[in-house]
């Protein structure tokens, strides 16, 4: 009998990568972690900190430091390397992030990696496409966290404004993980009831939502976090862990992710966020929501922003 251990590699163990490792470990999602970073001492230190907690984790895990070639037999490789600019736009990170992809992609693939890439590195929609084209991997096995975190923020604000538990709310932001993202208000559901219905049935509770202000708060939430700690960590690590869990357990669950569009919303050839079926094969299906005319117009504008940014890569 052979038991397959669940193995994840993380490229870049700075603020985000280290918290990704910790989330995967403390939630009991992985059996093995391979940490890779150009800062070798950082990898040594993060590994030591992780293994110091082994006695208190849900189950035993193996944590090793490695090089790109050591990712060959991983099931999933997470890309979280990069730098954060203080300009207020993730798009300004594009060339640096593309250079990061150039530094590892050939080595990882040549070593024999044949799993799933999940991209956190910003601008993640652009970098997911760049990594997909660089590696030649099947479209379902390269995707980005996209608006997964933004959608979580969206539900958190809606919960605060209505008093409904966020886990009972279905709501998505879509498009770019950035300033041009849209809120799919026409598809917001509380339990089994659409927001549009609740606005009529209970106008005092649901009919007074300041929709532009809510979306603006969602867009700016990451920079609120950045202002005080110069990184976002817990939210994005939880988002990534949720995707990995869905893959390892073949959940076939619906989660927002940035994936290749092939005609959805009239868009082709770019990566942008939309609800997806996530299972053992990565993105197993792409859901196209019925957006309002204004929402579709804004979504296509967001895709144009992603496309324009991609064309800046040299």
Q: If we measure between CA atoms, which residue out of 274, 272, 178, 159 comes closest to residue 223? A: 178
Residues 6 or more apart from 90 whose CB is under 8 A from it? 122, 123, 124, 177, 178
Which is catalytic among the residues 19, 59, 177, 249?
Answer: 177
Q: Is 172 exposed, middle or buried (0-12, 13-18, 19+ CB in 10 A)?
A: buried
- The total number of residues written for the chain in this structure: 314
Q: Is 19 a catalytic residue?
A: no
DSSP state of 185: G
Category of 288 on φ-ψ map: left (φ > 0), alpha (ψ -120 to 50) or beta: beta
Residue stretches of the annotated binding site: 12-17, 37, 42, 68, 90, 103, 120-125, 145, 150-153, 232
How far, in Å, are 129, 262, 299 from residue 279 at the CA level?
20, 19, 26
Binding residues for substrate, as ranges, are: 90, 122-125, 150-153, 232
| Residue stretches of the annotated binding site for NAD(+) | 12-17, 37, 42, 68, 103, 120-122, 145
Cβ neighbours around 243 below 10 Å, total: 27
Enter the tokens of residue 107: 């080595």
Q: Which residues are catalytic?
A: 177
């Amino acid at each position: 009998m052979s038991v397959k251990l669940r193995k994840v590699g993380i490229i870049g163990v700075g603020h985000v990568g280290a918290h990704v490792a910790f989330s995967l470990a403390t939630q009991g999602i992985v059996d093995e972690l391979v940490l890779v970073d150009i800062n070798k001492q950082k990898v040594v230190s993060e590994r030591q900190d992780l293994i110091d907690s082994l006695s208190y984790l849900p189950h035993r895990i193996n944590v090793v430091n490695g090089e790109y070639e050591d990712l060959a037999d991983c099931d999933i490789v997470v890309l979280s390397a990069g730098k954060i600019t203080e300009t207020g736009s993730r798009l300004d990170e594009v060339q640096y992030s593309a250079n990061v992809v150039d530094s590892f992609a050939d080595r990882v693939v040549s070593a024999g990696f044949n799993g799933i890439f999940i991209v956190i590195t910003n601008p993640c929609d652009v970098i997911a496409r760049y990594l997909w084209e660089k590696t030649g991997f099947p479209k379902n096995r390269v995707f980005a966290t996209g608006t997964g975190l933004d959608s979580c923020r969206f539900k958190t604000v809606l919960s605060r404004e209505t008093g409904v538990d966020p886990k009972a709310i279905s709501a998505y932001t879509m498009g770019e993980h950035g300033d041009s993202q849209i809120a799919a208000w026409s598809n917001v559901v509380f339990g089994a009831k659409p927001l549009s219905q609740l606005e009529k049935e209970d106008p005092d509770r649901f009919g007074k939502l300041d929709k532009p202000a809510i979306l603006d708060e969602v867009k700016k939430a990451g920079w609120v976090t950045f202002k005080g700690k110069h990184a976002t960590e817990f939210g994005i690590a939880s988002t990534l862990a949720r995707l990995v869990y869905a893959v390892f357990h073949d959940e076939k669950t619906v989660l927002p992710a940035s994936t290749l569009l092939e005609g959805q919303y009239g868009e082709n050839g770019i990566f942008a966020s939309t609800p997806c079926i996530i299972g053992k094969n990565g993105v197993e299906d792409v859901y196209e929501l019925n957006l309002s005319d204004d929402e579709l117009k804004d979504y296509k504008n967001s895709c144009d922003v992603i496309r324009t940014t991609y064309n800046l890569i040299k």
